[in-house]
Structure 1
């Protein structure tokens, strides 16, 4: 009886202790933390109680035209304006990928200072991918030290510690304390499969048991490494500032792709891609990273999801189901740390089917609203739209070899989808000078005329994004019988002086033909010798057997311009391939490109008026690698690679046909190219901003 009473007393004490802790956590706040995890949700301390907090977030970076993310050249005034726009949009949390310029934190603190409902911050702690590209093991002693230094730097910075400027590239004192608005940290990046396999091979699998965070026996060596970095973060902030906040790690979204419908006779399940213990694990599973009770805030799983059409095929076009699958798998809250859809004339594999290759701003907004609703109904703890502003400095996998990367921030490449994820864009040039293809030609004057006769004028302009053309006639165009051909001599190293294909004769060797053939059938053609798409497809063969090359610099052939938007992909869980997808990127879209118009279509390439046609052609479509320094692509077959060649002018002519016969020829004249050191631009909120604003502000 005595033993029973002792045991019963011990059990009673344990129950009371745990109950008191639960009650204390749930109903009382603490000076050391203001946010925490309860079950699968995030809570913040507000009005002397814990309130459930659903993240309606957006990502922001520190770039603008002419500025790279590590330049820290965005001003306080710009950050202040952007934060106000974000707040008015209905966003309650901003996520940043790494340490921002000090002016960002200063602007955030001032905006929040007297705000009853502040905008919170999810602070990223970046792992520098350049080390991985150079072949380093992320778990090596040196990189572990670098990562810890960045953790310490960022923790000090958000607390306004004046003594955090020992890093060579940090030139400002971070003396603004924004810690009361920082919900948590996102530790690391979404690591690539190849890097994960490499680090698993290089390191022994073992669990980690730290002061705040640990891993279980199923954890990979890399998951234990992430746990160690998270533990270092929690310990450093607690020791130095006596504060805690949420800690989030980014999981591998491919790990959660459901099993193929064809291969599953039961309910869909999580696809464990590496059950064999002898196979290097190529994904990060956040469930293997645990936290102790002394981490009062908790751990959150994050996922970066970009619903391209190739991915949609893998979860049957149902983003909501995919998100539910991820969320149901986890025992901790799940936030979607990045979910992006670009507004772009080349929308990569984000569109369904090959007929419509673009996503305009209106469609971007509609798709993002649907994605936001899917995140919410999947019972995730919230998500962050990717991203607030466009980023000129970015290059995508299918365009990175076609441009000068160190000059990418100085011009806007309409062919690069990754530059266009923002809901605010940077329009090239000054506000009133942009010659949008639209219902007015008031911005054109006599100084822009390149070639003319008594009835027809051909005018040209250019800016940081497009080369513009305007053809004006005294007579009305009738595209039931009329066709217009604008010929461009861009490179001096190839081209042809006639085209039997189009029955055209030119004064100089021509590389491109812009064919206006009504609203639905207009496009840009490229001289086949100067066709990079064909060259890349045959590059390996050309190097091995140059004697088999049947391309000549003056060959009489023009082709449609194609771009690869989705490579051939092997889908492991269905044991099948998704075939490569190519788009005709040279096909032109008719519409009104003026943002002030009720009929605005952001991806419009040309507009047909009664007696005029306005056209804008992206620089990259004409094989420019950097228009700011007037550099184009040189002869591909000369050295079997893409390299730059500087030019100073292009030659442009125009032929008008009626019922297939030439009735007018404006001979080719030179158009002088103007380079620039720093780009001119102006900000504009996209249609997608206003569409999202309406959704996010709903009660």
Structure 2
């Protein structure tokens, strides 16, 4: 009997080997069904550059191809990219939506897990019609380059070349990458190479690093490689880039394929001169793609740039860009820039591989034609993104790749990052003041959005589970009920008043206390004095906003007290000053020589205005930035965490009144107290209008509490911008056929 058992086990083992073998063959066989052309040297080519455009080999001939793409990030809410949380099911679901939107290219910045390439091959195998193509990025040792400021250092070369080797192996399903913290790893067996449109090498180059590299290696001769070389005009850094691109080509050639090559570039290191750019740093040095040429690479080479309409400031100040009008007859500096950049790259394809604006409450830069870095609704985001894509196509570019597919909560931006503490917990909550988190077309919305709608109706509050909301037992004139709840993005408040609320005649104030200190008096409180201070004050009425106690105001403390860029009134920096300041963010720092060519004052934007509207995405009146609504006796609102003074709600951290010379400090809050009152059109307040001072015991009010969280809830929803871009992409597809 024993021999039979061995025989059966042997057959099972052989069967498993056959299944594995057939599976592996399938990955290669399926991908190789993609139509391509074989060159005289025996390699396969699917895409190539020709003149100033890119061509695809299709129906046994070369045809022009315009890339309508979208960048894909590597993170999900609650995670950082290095944690690699995206599953194969996520990728497959997203590919379907991206394809439905009309995009034909997905760009990734770095190596993704094997599941990404498996999902892409499987999706394209089952898909009717043209495949969804891949532009593969190869991440450079960015932090090391910035730190060392010398691209030629051996440790930088070693890291970069290993990344190139791994990226090519991952795309062609021909490598097993060992585990390494923050990096993708595993067995790569899916051959996505035939679906590749090109290699996108490197990251945005730090201008100081480029300049220093050029200085350190001024005597180096132009690189001459097997497939690419640097011209006589090439700087040492450009020569280094020629070697990097050539290395990618050498690695891919081993796979029997060639694809178009490019490297990452951006406006800061473009080859143009910008006399109107106020900051020397932003026009310090050039990295010119025309100084690198292919020698034996049939697939060719193209230029690519990240071009946003609001950064650097040259888009507002450079008069050289103020001579082109768009179809509406408006001065359009973005269109002018595209035209100038295209003219420099004569007979060479050029793509904009990052562009777009975020749908966020926060703003970080102003742009021409209102194309700011933030402060947009989802609808405005779609309209601006569509207009930018249209201009990219009209100016004869080879493609445009939108930034970005999904919202990424971990992102930081310069004007809020100092207030997000501890900084390693950014991914656990959504700060809608941080615009970088909300560039996505696929919204990653906090967990309550799909169950709690701001519309002036309490029905959805009544449906919330008892443990998911808290009634605050307050006994105040004019207030019947006061409820609170929260999620990863907002604090939600619902008040049922004793009489109908008329915001055109009345004002509803809600004082917010989160930590000892703040304003115990103020003009909004009339003669009432509190026994504990308020950090912030919400006002709902004709004009609706949230204001912050002047001595608590992060913005003024940073840019006024610490940096001296704002005028500071000493009386307002004292505790219990009675002054509440508008909630602002910086959008431009004070600039003066020698750092800038001329003096520019500091610029600010108010972000505390609260818009009336509905957050019901199915309602035609939907406004993604809506904060409150009132109907009858019901007033409900959602307030972003940071506007209430929170630096990290997931660990109950609020900004402290204390601070160190170069850093803010935080406190662990015991919760949130709310003090609501109503002021009528005659100025009569429900808190009382006695001639003498009245002490109100805020410390006796109930506290809204919640446990710290380590796991986040969220849900995906296509933003309004998705359908707008879908229409724009379809229109570009039609015009491309006659381009």
**CA positional deviation for 1:300:** 0.8
Match of 1:387 in 2: 404
**CA positional deviation for 1:202:** 3.0
Q: Equivalents in 2 of 1:570, 1:205: separation in Å?
A: 35
* TM-score normalized by the length of structure 2: 0.83
Contact 1:351 1:359 (C-alpha < 8 Å) held by counterparts: no
**CA positional deviation for 1:418:** 0.6
Deviates more, 1:645-654 or 1:661-670: 661-670
**CA positional deviation for 1:256:** 5.6
**What secondary structure does 1:344 align onto?**
coil
Residue by residue, what CA displacement relative to the aligned partner does 1:90-147 show, whole Å, maximum 9, x if unpaired?
Answer: 0000000111122111111100114330010000001132224544533211111100
**CA positional deviation for 1:336:** 0.5
| Aligned equivalent of 1:326, options 341, 350, 357 | 341
Q: Equivalents in 2 of 1:157, 1:694: separation in Å?
A: 34
Residue by residue, what CA displacement relative to the aligned partner does 1:216-263 show, whole Å, maximum 9, x if unpaired?
Answer: 12211111111111111111221x312221110123424366766999
Match of 1:138 in 2: 151
Contact 2:363 2:605 (C-alpha < 8 Å) held by counterparts: no
**CA positional deviation for 1:450:** 1.2
1:75 aligns with 2:87: yes
1:513 aligns with 2:530: no
Q: Equivalents in 2 of 1:367, 1:107: separation in Å?
A: 31
Match of 2:15 in 1: none
1:407 aligns with 2:425: yes
Match of 2:549 in 1: 527
Q: Equivalents in 2 of 1:126, 1:640: separation in Å?
A: 33
Q: Equivalents in 2 of 1:460, 1:40: separation in Å?
A: 58
What aligned pairs does 1:84-233 form with structure 2 within 5 A after superposition? 84-115=96-127, 116-165=129-178, 167=180, 169-206=183-220, 207-233=222-248
| Aligned equivalent of 1:374, options 374, 378, 391 | 391
Match of 1:590 in 2: 612
1:345 aligns with 2:361: yes
Contact 1:182 1:245 (C-alpha < 8 Å) held by counterparts: yes
Contact 1:360 1:601 (C-alpha < 8 Å) held by counterparts: yes
**CA positional deviation for 1:45:** 1.5
CA 180–569 in structure 1, closer or farther in 2 if over 3 Å, else same: farther
Match of 2:299 in 1: 297
Contact 1:252 1:283 (C-alpha < 8 Å) held by counterparts: no
**CA positional deviation for 1:455:** 4.8
Q: Equivalents in 2 of 1:209, 1:159: separation in Å?
A: 27
CA 638–695 in structure 1, closer or farther in 2 if over 3 Å, else same: closer
**CA positional deviation for 1:441:** 1.9
Match of 1:21 in 2: none
Q: Equivalents in 1 of 2:46, 2:168: separation in Å?
A: 16
Match of 2:521 in 1: 498
RMSD: 3.1
What aligned pairs does 1:357-372 form with structure 2 within 5 A after superposition? 358-372=375-389
**What secondary structure does 1:621 align onto?**
helix
| Aligned equivalent of 1:657, options 679, 696, 721 | 679
Q: Equivalents in 1 of 2:660, 2:246: separation in Å?
A: 55
CA 48–549 in structure 1, closer or farther in 2 if over 3 Å, else same: same
Match of 1:426 in 2: 444
Structure 2 gaps of 5+ residues are: 1-35, 323-331, 689-695, 735-739
Match of 2:326 in 1: none
Q: Equivalents in 2 of 1:210, 1:273: separation in Å?
A: 31
- Number of positions where the alignment pairs a residue of Structure 1 with one of Structure 2: 653
**What secondary structure does 1:418 align onto?**
helix
**CA positional deviation for 1:35:** 1.3
Match of 1:16 in 2: none
Match of 1:287 in 2: 290
Residue by residue, what CA displacement relative to the aligned partner does 1:299-334 show, whole Å, maximum 9, x if unpaired?
Answer: 110000111174432333332222121112113100
Contact 1:62 1:101 (C-alpha < 8 Å) held by counterparts: no
**What secondary structure does 2:151 align onto?**
coil
Contact 1:532 1:636 (C-alpha < 8 Å) held by counterparts: no
Q: Equivalents in 2 of 1:140, 1:622: separation in Å?
A: 47
Contact 2:357 2:371 (C-alpha < 8 Å) held by counterparts: no
**CA positional deviation for 1:524:** 1.0
Q: Equivalents in 2 of 1:465, 1:87: separation in Å?
A: 29
**CA positional deviation for 1:348:** 2.6
Q: Equivalents in 2 of 1:74, 1:121: separation in Å?
A: 17
Q: Equivalents in 2 of 1:507, 1:602: separation in Å?
A: 37
Contact 2:371 2:384 (C-alpha < 8 Å) held by counterparts: no
Match of 1:682 in 2: 715
**CA positional deviation for 1:29:** 11
Match of 1:307 in 2: 309
CA 106–541 in structure 1, closer or farther in 2 if over 3 Å, else same: closer
1:697 aligns with 2:730: yes
**CA positional deviation for 1:398:** 0.8
Match of 1:10 in 2: none
**Runs of 4 or more off by more than 6 Å in structure 1?**
24-30, 260-263, 271-274, 353-357
**CA positional deviation for 1:30:** 6.3
CA 95–354 in structure 1, closer or farther in 2 if over 3 Å, else same: closer
Match of 2:17 in 1: none
CA 444–388 in structure 1, closer or farther in 2 if over 3 Å, else same: same
Contact 2:309 2:367 (C-alpha < 8 Å) held by counterparts: no
CA 99–569 in structure 1, closer or farther in 2 if over 3 Å, else same: farther
1:565 aligns with 2:598: no
CA 598–540 in structure 1, closer or farther in 2 if over 3 Å, else same: closer
Contact 1:257 1:322 (C-alpha < 8 Å) held by counterparts: no
Contact 1:351 1:358 (C-alpha < 8 Å) held by counterparts: no
Q: Equivalents in 2 of 1:533, 1:231: separation in Å?
A: 48
Q: Equivalents in 1 of 2:562, 2:125: separation in Å?
A: 60
Q: Equivalents in 2 of 1:355, 1:320: separation in Å?
A: 12
1:464 aligns with 2:488: yes
1:538 aligns with 2:560: yes
Deviates more, 1:373-382 or 1:629-638: 629-638
Structure 1 gaps of 5+ residues are: 1-23, 264-270, 275-280
What aligned pairs does 1:478-493 form with structure 2 within 5 A after superposition? 478-492=502-516
Contact 2:366 2:587 (C-alpha < 8 Å) held by counterparts: no
